[in-house]
Amino acid sequence: MTNVETTSPVAPDTRASRAGSQGDVAGEAAPTKMTKKRKGMIAALVAALLILALLFAWYLMNRKPLSALPGLSSTTMPHYELSLYGATKPLGVAVTPTGDRIYVTESGGTQLVRVYDRGGKQTGTLKPPASTGAWHLPMYVAINPVTKDVYVSDRQSAAIYVYDSNGKYLRTFAPKGAVGKFAPMGLAFDPDGILYVTDIAGATTKTHRVLVFGADGTLVRQFKAQGSMSFPNGLVVDLRGNIDVADSNNGRLLIFNKSGKLLSTISPGVGEGDLGMPRGVAVDEAGRLFVVDTADHMVRVYRVEKSKVTPTYIGSFGDEGQLDGTFEYPNGVATDKRARVYITDRENNRVQVWGY
Amino acid sequence: MKPNRRTTSYSDKRVSRLLRLGVAVLVVGLMAFVALYYQDQHVDAGPSLTGRQIAGAEAAVKKAPNNVQVRLQLAAAYLMDKRPNDALTQYDEILKADKANRPALLGRGRVLLNKGDLAAASVSYHKITDVAAKGEFAGADPQAQEAHYYLGSIAIKQGKTKVALVELETALKINAADSDSLYLLGVAQMKDGDPKLAVNAFKRALLFVPTGWCEPYSQLALAYGKLSLAPQKTYATGMANVCLKKPVDGKAQLKTLLKGPVAVDAMLGLGLTAEEESNNPEAVSWYKQVLTRDKKNATATSALSRLGAGPTSPAPAAKGSSTTQGPS
């Protein structure tokens, strides 16, 4: 900017300024006509300061990477950022909206839930008390957006354990109503705290279903699919309020509306966007739907649009392997509000963090 | 009227100072933003999984330098980390202690093959096949099969077609379903001037891997061309085009064959293409047309079963189709 001043074409003024500075300058400054150039410079500077202030404000409110600025393309795939280590055969993952606390279910090793900070440092564990039995197999985990409590499904004890946000065990979720035999798997909440659970109880897949519980734990409704579900796993309430369910062993994603009407299906197959064996499901604020395809060792990404019943396939990321950014039988997925995607990489014993 | 010089210069100075201040605020603000952004977004990724594995294996080797298993693990970790020379050192260390160690010989052969040292790689693989040929389980030895496959591959690269044929046929005696060996056998047979045999080998390879592998289709087209079988060549070219993500060209070529001698193959190809395009109803339609011509066609029957459209199954829904299933 110094350069601008010294090389300014406003030479007469500059000379005048120099001359004036040698004499008395105590007089009142009268409004003078500025050159167009200088006016332009002031306008540009004010505009730049304003943009910077807006950028600061936007960033402090969202804390997202700049690549996630509104209006930028949402069709790009995320990139690998880091991995969290320490969990043996991790399955489910949930993350606080800020990404500062990450909950990971461990199906091998000590079979508990590990809690990490955003840098991958383990900060605690969640484990049900001895009164709930000696054997546990935590599967999926979800955070109640209203109470901030953490819900963990347990396949071994066929129960859901509830912890507060500090990791203190609160209770075992007791469903009210005619639930019958209950073997919870995937967990998801809607913004009002309504809990959706995939249930694989029963000797055959005919009884596999999705259960919907009110905030007080009362069974509100249940839904099944044509031809029955086969080991439904993860599920999520998407931006339209629909419930997207990974019908894992049928290799498809089922999209229900809130009342349980099946609206659409993403099918199994070999085509682009077709599924192999979907497990975890998550959505982010940008309307992207992430489906972990464990058999194909990748995460498929779809865009949820209000005008379309079926999400539009936009790409996939990951491949089979052990290097950074590759997976061996990934399972769970979660997103935070900072444009990060967390995927449990089961056979590599890590949780991968990808970001936009 | 001329402006007052003195007041004009004073005002200019003030504006200049303000401008400088503004620029300084902008620069400091930008720097602050960059620092905040970096601190907030950047998380140290730490060592990768491979890095951790290497560190662990190196520590284990230091602790027990004579343990072959940990050296093999270290070599595998080096290979994963794209450090073939370090892996080679480990394999050589193992072979100093155990000259016939098969995993080390296979690993050494792979590294040398990738480095282009065909003769040295060949020596490694021969050390396996020479011993395995006399063994009790010579006919069911997967490591010997792998060695014969690579020896065949090396022989093709060296232009020793007859040797390649022997090695690949031996590999296929051990595992007749190895599509890689079948494909290379076809390539060797083509080089040996026998496109008829090559056609058979390519078709068998494609039986096991019908999609996502374009080379066998391209080679099949070449083989049919040498045999002057125009419709068959068109079929193979069409399938190669589908595989090479040119489905419009591929389908157009396949549709020209629906009444000729390769009609069934063309229909199967169109069915497979429809499956790849997630158009399951169309795929089912093609497979059913195959069965009207060839009731016992195993490929069509298994495809229909895969699509849930067997004789007793309802027709599959198209991807994304709506249903009217209500809550139960």
Tell me whether residues B15 and A38 touch, CB distance under 8 A: yes
Question: Of B1, B2, B9, B31, which to mutate for an interface test with A (greatest number of A Cβ within 10 Å)?
Answer: B9
Distance CA B317, CA A267 (A): 9
Dump pLDDT digits (tens) for B237-285.
Answer: 999 999 998 999 999 999 999 998 999 999 999 999 999 888 889 999 9
Pick from A56-65, A190-199, A217-226 the range whose average pLDDT is largest: A190-199
Secondary structure, 3-state, chain A: CHHHHHCCCCHHHHHHHHHHHHCCCCCCCCCCCCCHHHHHHHHHHHHHHHHHHHHHHHHHHHCCCHHHCCCCCCCCCCEEEEEEECCCCEEEEEECCCCCCEEEEECCCCCCEEEECCCCCEEEEECCCHHHCCCCCEEEEEECCCCCCEEEEECCCCEEEEECCCCCEEEECCCECCCCCCCEEEEEECCCCCEEEEECCCCCHHHCEEEEECCCCEEEEEECCCCCCCCEEEEEECCCCCEEEEEHHHCEEEEECCCCCEEEEECECCCCCCECCEEEEEECCCCEEEEEECCCCEEEEEECCCCCCCCEEEEEECCECCCCCCECCEEEEEECCCCEEEEEEHHHCEEEEEEC
Euclidean distance between CA atoms B37 and A66, whole angstroms: 9
Distance (Å) of CA B34 to CA A46, A329, A333, A350, B31 = 20, 37, 30, 30, 5
Contacts of A41 in chain B (CB under 8 A): 19
* Residue A312, burial from CB neighbour count under 10 angstroms (0-12, 13-18, 19+): middle
pLDDT higher than 70, residue A173: yes
pLDDT above 70: residue B326: no
Residue with token string 């659970």: A197
**Tens digit of each residue's pLDDT (9 = 90 or more) over B172-226:** 999 999 999 999 999 999 999 999 999 999 999 999 999 889 999 999 999 999 9
Q: Are A243 and A249 within 8 A, CB to CB?
A: no
Judge whether residue B316 has pLDDT over 70: no
Cβ contact (<8 Å) for A19 and B278?
no
Nearest CB among B9, B275, B316 relative to A19 is that of B9
pLDDT beyond 70 at A161: yes
How close B143 gets to chain A, by Cα (Å)?
22
Q: Does B40 touch chain A (CB under 8 A)?
A: yes
CA distance B214 to B247: 13
And the tokens for A308? 């379309």
Torsion A282-A284-A286-A287 (CA) sign:
positive
8 Å CB contact of A63 and B45: no
Give the residue on A whose Cα is nearest the Cα of B283: A269
Residue A317, token pair as written in the block: 């990321």
Window B:71-90, CB contacts with A under 8 Å = 80
Give the distance from residue B306's alpha carbon to the nearest chain A alpha carbon, in angstroms: 9
CA nearest to B16 within chain A: A5
Taking only the tens place, the pLDDT of each residue in B115-143 is 999 999 999 999 999 988 777 777 788 99
The pLDDT of residue B5 is 52
Distance, in Å, from the CA atom of A296 to the CA atom of A317, rounded to the nearest integer, reads 11
Picking from B9, B322, B324, the nearest residue to A309 by CB comes out as B322
Judging contacts by C-beta atoms under 8 Å, the chain B residues touching residue A261 are 324-327
Average pLDDT along chain B: 89
Q: Name the closest residue on chain B to residue A41, using Cα atoms.
A: B19
Structure confidence at residue B60 (pLDDT) = 96
B66 inside 8 A of chain A by CB: no
Tokens of A112: 């508990």
Residue listed under structure tokens 């509000």: A337
Report residue B198 as tokens.
């090559």
Cβ(B189)–Cβ(B198) under 8 Å?
yes
Could you tell me which of A147, A149, A127, A150 has the C-alpha nearest to residue A138? A127
User: What's the confidence (pLDDT) of residue A31?
Assistant: 52
Spell out the residues 6+ positions from residue A22 whose beta carbon is closer than 8 angstroms to its own.
none
Edge-to-edge order in the sheet of strand A219-223: A184-189, A195-199, A209-213, A219-223
Q: Residue B93's CB: how many other CB atoms inside 10 A? A: 17
CA A278/CA A186 separation, integer angstroms: 12
Beta carbons within 8 Å of B119's beta carbon, 6+ residues apart: none
Cβ separation of B320 and A221 shorter than 8 Å? no
Residue B10's pLDDT is 57
The ipTM, to two decimals, is: 0.71
- Considering CB atoms only, which of B11, B321, B323 is closest to A32? B11
The residues, any chain, with a CB within 8 Å of residue A331's CB and separated by 6 or more, are: A90, A91, A92, A279, A280, A292, A294, A344, A346
Q: Do B317 and A265 touch (CB under 8 A)?
A: yes
Here the tokens at position A344 are 């449990």
Q: Choose among A28, A42, A273: nearest Cβ to B278.
A: A273
Reply yes or no on whether the pLDDT at A11 is more than 90: no
**A5–B15 C-beta distance less than 8 A:** no
User: Is the predicted pLDDT of residue A184 greater than 50, yes or no?
Assistant: yes
Q: Which residues of A touch B9 (CB under 8 A)?
A: 13, 16-21, 25
Find the angle CA(A289)-CA(A292)-CA(A297) to the nearest 5 degrees: 140
- Check B11 against A19: CB less than 8 A apart: no
Q: How far A17 CA lies from chain B's nearest CA (Å)?
A: 4
Q: Give the whole-angstrom CA distance, residue B73 versus residue B81.
A: 12
Both tokens of residue A300?
Answer: 């498929």
Search chain B and give the residue with CA nearest A264. Answer: B322
Q: Please check the confidence at residue A74 and state whether its pLDDT lies above 90.
A: no
Average pLDDT over residues A109-122: 94
**What residues 123-182 of chain B have any CB closer than 8 A to a CB of chain A?**
none
Residue to mutate among A83, A102, A122, A342, with most B CBs inside 10 A, is: A83
Mean pLDDT of chain A: 89
Residues of B in contact with A225 (CB under 8 A): 325
Q: What torsion do the CA atoms of B274, A244, A67, A117 make, to the nearest 10 degrees? A: -130
Q: Are B106 and B75 in contact (CB under 8 A)?
A: no
Residue of B nearest to A263 (CA): B322
Closest-approach residue (CA) in chain B for A349: B49
Task: Note whether B278 contacts A274, CB cutoff 8 Å.
Answer: yes
Strand partners, A237: A243
Task: Give Cβ neighbours of residue B204 (< 8 Å, ≥ 6 apart).
Answer: B179, B182
Chain B residues with beta carbon closer than 8 angstroms to that of A28: 7
Q: From CA A322, how far away is CA B53, in angstroms rounded?
A: 10
The answer to whether B328 contacts A223, with C-beta atoms less than 8 Å apart, is yes
Cα–Cα distance for residue pair A304/B30, rounded to 1 Å? 35
Residue A17 and residue B12: Cβ atoms within 8 Å?
yes
By CA distance, what is B328's nearest residue in A? A223
Longest CA pairwise span in chain B (Å) = 114
Q: Of the candidates A303, A258, A305, A298, which has an alpha carbon nearest to the alpha carbon of residue A279?
A: A298
Residue B21 touches partner A, C-beta closer than 8 Å:
no
Q: How far apart are CA B144 and CA B161, in angstroms?
A: 20
Residues A231-271: pLDDT tens digits?
999 999 999 999 999 999 999 999 999 999 999 999 888 88
CB contact (8 A) between residue B9 and residue A310:
no
Query: Which of the residue ranges A142-156, B45-59, B310-324 has the most confident prediction, judged by mean pLDDT?
Result: A142-156
Interface with A, mutate which of B12, B33, B79, B209 (most A CBs under 10 A): B12
Residue contact B40–A27, C-beta within 8 A: no
Q: Does B25 touch chain A (CB under 8 A)?
A: yes
Instruction: Please name the member of A42, A81, A267 whose beta carbon is closest to the beta carbon of B43.
Output: A81
The 3-class SS string of chain B reads CCCCHHHHHHHHHHHHHHHHHHHHHHHHHHHHHHHHHHHHHCCCCCCCHHHHHHHHHHHHHHHCCCCHHHHHHHHHHHHHCCCHHHHHHHHHHHHHHCCCCHHHHHHHHHHHHHHCCHHHHHHHHHHHHHHHCCCCCHHHCHHHHHHHHHHHHHHHHCCCHHHHHHHHHHHHHHCCCCHHHHHHHHHHHHHCCCHHHHHHHHHHHHHHCCCCCCHHHHHHHHHHHHCCCHHHHHHHHHHHHHHCCCHHHHHHHHHCCCCCCCHHHHHHHHHHHHHHCCCHHHHHHHHHHHHHHCCCCHHHHHHHHHCCCCCCCCCCCCCCCCCCCCCC
What gap in Å lies between CA A20 and CA B11, rounded to an integer? 11
Q: Inter-chain contact B43–A19, Cβ cutoff 8 Å? A: no
Q: Which amino acid is at A326?
A: T
CB contact under 8 A, A310 and B319: yes
CB-nearest partner of A20 from B10, B45, B327: B10
